[in-house]
Amino acid sequence: MTKEITIGIFGDSFACRAWGNDSGKSWPEILKEKHGYHKQTNFAEPGSSLFFSYHNFLKNINSQNFDKIIFVITSPGRLSLPPSVEVHRQWASRHVVPVSLQADREGLDFLISNSNNEHDTRLFVDHKRALKAAEEYFAYIYDDTQDVHNNIGLVNNLITMKPDGLFIPTMKNDTAKEFGLYDPANDPRFASVLTDVSKREIAVTGHDYFIVTASGRDTRHCHMSQENNEIFADKIAHYLETGEFSLNVDDFVYDKNLDVYSVFPRTQQ
């Protein structure tokens, strides 16, 4: 049965399907198909920054008039290419994440070397140049403390505008705690954050999470197993029905026999 409630979902890859994975379902899809919440609009994009989601929120919150907002809070340290940089339709994203810059450049090099169209080649070359500028920005100019404070400000603006929204942190924010600033990650409802679930899925296999994720692209929808996407969808459905929500890493399931080389196909054994 279709639920009449309308839902706006905002965020990054913790709130949408993984690129290139045609199997399984993400938690928003499970929320729709299992729980009947078909009237949802998902604005989330992999690799996107908090400002990207914040801006989408501002553009749509009044015109769409959603009954419920689910907002996954992206970690700092991301950029989106400005409109002045034209991105070829063959490239899926305008977003820049430092950990994937090398892989992105390699992908563009491949497209450039195999392009037979002058216009396409120019777009790929300009895109690569923009990524090089982003890489140098992160290396020489980027201020993590400033970015964290900017994120805290955006989150507090969002909560002021939509106090009844569900704002789900992907990571702990020590800076907010240090300065006594409000951050959802320090809310008692969040004994854990979403990255805790993602990391434990890898850690139980005996692999180092940071080595694995730095070496390959995560093909898990929302950075979680299919089972954990379903558990998370159940939690969201419970929130929509009761207003109650909690997140604890121990509420999820973990497979110590998970094949990390299938989850992160670029990872070298």
User: Does residue 260 belong to any structural domain of this protein?
Assistant: no
Give yes or no: residues 65 and 115 share one domain.
Answer: no
pLDDT of residue 157: 95
Indicate whether 12 and 134 sit together in one domain: no
Query: Does one domain contain both 155 and 177?
Result: yes
Cβ–Cβ under 8 Å, residues 19 and 92: yes
Whether 127 is in a domain gets the answer yes
What is the helix (H) or strand (E) element at residue 80, kind and residue range?
strand 79-80
Same domain, 170 and 126: no
Write out the two tokens for 199. Answer: 């990391």
165 and 215 both lie in a single domain: yes
The confidence score (pLDDT) of residue 269 equals 47
- CB neighbours of 89 closer than 8 A, spacing ≥ 6? none
Residue 256 lies in a domain: no
CATH number for the domain including 35?
Answer: 3.40.50.1110
What pLDDT shows up at residue 111?
Answer: 83
Helices 226-242 and 194-203, packing angle to 10 deg: 160
Domain region containing 206: 7-77+143-247
Roughly how many angstroms between the first and final C-alpha of the chain, as a whole number? 46
Q: Classify residue 15 by its DSSP letter.
A: G
Last residue of a domain, one of 116, 140, 164: 140
| Count of domains forming the chain | 2
Separation between Cα atoms, residue 11 and residue 64, nearest integer Å: 17
Looking at the structure, do residues 184 and 105 belong to the same domain, yes or no?
no
CA dihedral (30, 33, 39, 42) positive or negative: positive
In the chain, which residue ranges form alpha helices assigned H by DSSP?
Answer: 27-33, 50-64, 101-113, 118-140, 144-161, 174-178, 194-203, 209-215, 226-242, 260-263
Mean pLDDT by 10 residues, the chain (269 residues): 90 89 91 95 94 94 90 92 83 78 78 86 88 90 92 94 95 84 88 96 90 78 96 98 96 94 68
DSSP state of 223: G
167 and 207 part of one domain = yes
Same domain, 231 and 151: yes
Question: Which pLDDT score is estimated for 216?
Answer: 64
